[in-house]
Amino acid sequence: MSNQNLKHALTTAGLTVEAFAEIIEVDPKTVQRWVAGATVPYQRNQATVAQALGLEPHDLWPDTITTSPGQPARPEPADPGAPLGDVVGSWGHANDPDAPDVAAIVSQAERRVDVRHDSRARLTDSTITAILDRADHGCQVQIVINPGAPELTPLIRHQQVEIRIAGTFNDHATVRADDEMLVFFVLAGPPGQHPPVLHLRRRTDGGLFDRFIDHRQVERAKAGDRLTDPAQLGDRPHLDDPHRPDHGDTGRATQTPGQTDPTEQPSTPPPEDHLPRRWPRRSD
């Protein structure tokens, strides 16, 4: 919900977001997030904003506990169920009964969807359908993949969808929908075991959500050219494929929520002196 108090104060002062950001020396995007209600500034920034507008912090953020200058901050009552920073929740397995529904979160996106895909952690058909729907409604979609993602074929030629091959290897996959993000960690375990999932919501500047966004931007800068042909998606690697990023590592998870592949069986572990081949692929 947008911060109508702050929005009205800026309008009354005759200030644009950009002009006000320059006055208080912050990025305009930060002020935009405050106005949109996506984040709440720290108390020191609340005081700066209020002072610049000739108001008190409580006038702009009535639900936030503030203090008078020079007075010690009053701690908010402890809430054992309150989320920590940007973390909404975490689950040991992405198919736990109360784990977040990926397709449902994607379906709420209004501006952008970003995906760091992993061939060992495929997107379900329902999630791909949700991404396609959001693209049809004007959302910008950016997907960075490891080779082996034929399930993305319905998306590759959509004007709003950009798919590129990663230039670096990751042990996690992410799905971002505006200010919501799910992070799937590919950890050791029985083949076919669903990965742990972390649900993030952007609440703070420079928090965990922003750290993942910064990482994604670096990854995208190193990614290859935009893919335009389904053949470029490649075939999904099998456990006996020597070019598979986790070849020889039988403890990798292979699915995201709601998708299993019963045809896959664990391969024989390699000798201790044989290191598994990692992305990027290279020929000997």
Compute the C-alpha angle 157/158/160, nearest 5°.
135
Global pTM value: 0.58
Q: Residue written as tokens 């230039």?
A: 167
Instruction: Give me the residues paired with residue 183 across strands.
Output: 174, 198
Taking only the tens of pLDDT, the chain with its 284 residues reads 788 899 899 999 899 989 998 888 778 888 888 888 888 887 777 888 988 899 888 888 887 654 444 443 333 433 444 456 899 899 999 889 889 999 999 999 988 999 998 766 678 899 999 999 999 999 999 999 888 888 899 999 899 999 999 888 778 899 999 999 999 998 887 877 888 999 999 888 888 999 998 888 888 888 889 999 999 888 866 544 433 444 334 333 344 443 434 333 334 444 444 444 334 444 44
- What residues have CB less than 8 Å from 238, skipping those under 6 apart? 244, 264
> For domain 4-60, which architecture applies?
Orthogonal Bundle (1.10)
- The dotted CATH code for 87-233 is 3.30.870.10
**Domain segments of the chain as ranges:** 4-60, 87-233
Tell me the CA distances in angstroms from 197 to 76, 121, 204, 252, one per residue in order: 29, 11, 20, 15
